[in-house]
Amino acid sequence: MISVELDKSYPNCRVLTGAKLEVAPGTVHALVGENGAGKSTLVKIVAGILPADRGTLTIGGANIPLASWDRRLARRAHVSIVQQHGAFAGSLSVVENAVLGAEPTKHGVLDLKPTATALAALGDKLGLAIDPWARVDRLSLGAAQRAEIVTALHVGAKLLILDEPTAVLAPVEVEGLLKMMKGLAQAGTTIVFVTHKLDEVRAAAHAVTVLRAGKTVATFERSEDTAAIARAMVGGELPGQSSIAEPGGDAKIALALRGVSVAAEGALASIDMEVRAGELVGVAGVDGNGQRELALAIAGLVAHTGTISLAGRDLSGRTPRERLAAGLAHVPEDRQHGGLVLDASIADNLTLGRADITGRFRIDRGAVAKFADARIAELDIRPASRDAIARSLSGGNQQKIVIGRELSRPNLAAVIAAQPTRGVDLGAVARIHGQLRAAAKGGAGVLVISADLDELLALCHRVVVMLRGKIVGERAGAALREQGARAALGEWMTGTRGAA
């Protein structure tokens, strides 16, 4: 049905380098890979949403000129995509969305009835009950997605791309969706199914393509051997050695969590965890499995139950300020919304909330300048000017500011660093890792949350895996350095290996 081979770069970042995908007609083809592997980019290019840099695209035997390939042409070629976050306009009804851009009229007046009837009938036929007149913003995420799928098929999709369709669905809905995909394939529709959950792949896919770091690293004609697929996803290389010694058995507990839960949709379910002084602990997992809530709960930025203690002191119910004062450092996940005030200078960002540098009320400008210059030199922040506005810096340099502010706190007892090197260039990664190691060496317990398994294996003494708000697996010490550790972690991440 389709065959593609693509390259795609953004400024400072190569997303796809010779990514290949071949899909046979009438099959469900799974496209899997870790976060940031380039899955979404690849399918968006096929659907005409993003332009490719170069490559080839063949659909139904016809060679497609990529330069002019866009959404409109894709639709004409019967290629439809249901995107991760939905593309329907919320304030319109399902049927209004379905006709958007090609509204049917009768005597010059908008005539939605025939389309609505057809949509409902098609939905019934597929076993996807939808209400064409319902406003999209009043539907559950699952119902809205069903409506998008039915609409895509109504307009005649022969190739249907589903980009992480199960991310927003309840387990029962997932089952229904997987069944429906197989049914559609039997009826002749070709489906590309983007996911990183291997149990879904095993349940629904006929064939599998694995992307890693923008490259196609493996294809499987069958979907049963999920262990092999997981190995291909995370790569089989041996992890680098953590360069600092593990803390001794008598090291104090720096950070302890007991039964910590965050209510919102079971985002975090009764987490127990300990980080010893001098220990680097990694939290692995596919994005959205509670890691974000874990960081926010520890920092006191989200309401939680259970107890969180820092160096033996109970901090539950304390404000973020009190927690920071007690010796916590928090590197927020999103440096641009939460980590930095983008319109403020480097010096201001380095000293935000740091009363130990600025003074309590009147800002000690000499001390601020001295402190800022020291951090700029230590982390090689560029431009090396404390008055430069944070917004004008590259992502890596912005992240260095956050690291510089947080890891230089006095009396550091514990560090929680969420995605500390996401979207950061290699030089900055090395500096940031250096700072995290230095914090651990200085006696802090360091918790690193990352979607990048390589990073955690290179940095941490111990790695735990989170899935659906729980810790489902853990590897430490020698077991973390074994050949099979990576695959085991990968299987925990994707839910193909039972909780340890």
The answer to whether 366 contacts another protein (rule: CB under 8 A) is no
* β-strand pairing of 328-331 with 414-418: parallel
Choosing from 49, 155, 169, 352, the residue that interacts with another protein (CB under 8 A) is: 352
The residues, ordered by sequence, that sit 6+ positions from 217 with a Cβ below 8 Å of its Cβ are 210, 211, 232, 235
Distance CA 467, CA 294 (A): 12
Least distance (Å) from another protein to the CB of residue 490?
31
Choosing from 320, 423, 434, 443, the residue that interacts with another protein (CB under 8 A) is: 320
Least distance (Å) from another protein to the CB of residue 64?
36
Distance CA 73, CA 42 (A): 17
Neighbours of 9 (CB within 10 A): 13
Q: Do 27 and 221 touch, CB atoms closer than 8 A? A: no
Least distance (Å) from another protein to the CB of residue 385?
13
CB nearer another protein, residue 341 or residue 430: 341
Q: Stretches 32-40, 53-61, 239-247, 337-345: which one binds another protein (CB under 8 A)?
A: 337-345
CA 152 to chain centre: 26
The answer to whether 420 contacts another protein (rule: CB under 8 A) is no
**Structure-token pair, residue 268:** 């975090």
The answer to whether 358 contacts another protein (rule: CB under 8 A) is yes
By CB under 8 A, the count of residues binding another protein is 35
Which residues are paired to 109 by β-bridges? 106
Choosing from 213, 342, 369, 458, the residue that interacts with another protein (CB under 8 A) is: 342
Least distance (Å) from another protein to the CB of residue 357?
10
The answer to whether 395 contacts another protein (rule: CB under 8 A) is no
Q: Which one-letter DSSP state was computed for residue 403?
A: H
Least distance (Å) from another protein to the CB of residue 427?
25
The answer to whether 410 contacts another protein (rule: CB under 8 A) is no
**Structure-token pair, residue 209:** 């393509």
Q: Stretches 32-40, 144-152, 270-278, 327-335: which one binds another protein (CB under 8 A)?
A: 327-335
CB nearer another protein, residue 56 or residue 316: 316
The answer to whether 317 contacts another protein (rule: CB under 8 A) is no
Q: Do 463 and 457 touch, CB atoms closer than 8 A? A: yes
Q: Do 444 and 254 touch, CB atoms closer than 8 A? A: yes
CB nearer another protein, residue 402 or residue 429: 402
Phi-psi region of 474 (alpha: psi -120 to 50; beta: other; left: phi over 0): beta
- H or E element: which one contains 230? helix 226-234
The answer to whether 359 contacts another protein (rule: CB under 8 A) is yes
Least distance (Å) from another protein to the CB of residue 406?
9
The answer to whether 299 contacts another protein (rule: CB under 8 A) is yes
Residue whose structure tokens are 């992307």: 211
The answer to whether 244 contacts another protein (rule: CB under 8 A) is no
The answer to whether 422 contacts another protein (rule: CB under 8 A) is no
Distance CA 465, CA 285 (A): 5
Stated length of the chain: 500
CB nearer another protein, residue 104 or residue 359: 359
CB nearer another protein, residue 195 or residue 419: 419
Binders in 135-154 for another protein, by CB under 8 A: none
x/- track of binding to another protein for residues 4-33 (CB under 8 A): ------------------------------
The residues, ordered by sequence, that sit 6+ positions from 40 with a Cβ below 8 Å of its Cβ are 84, 163, 164, 194
The residues, ordered by sequence, that sit 6+ positions from 143 with a Cβ below 8 Å of its Cβ are 130, 134
Residue whose structure tokens are 């796809």: 16
64 phi and psi, to 5 degrees? -100, 125
Least distance (Å) from another protein to the CB of residue 354?
8
The answer to whether 338 contacts another protein (rule: CB under 8 A) is yes
The binding site for another protein (CB under 8 A) comprises 299, 301, 319-321, 323-325, 330, 332, 334, 337-345, 348, 351-355, 358-363, 365, 389, 405
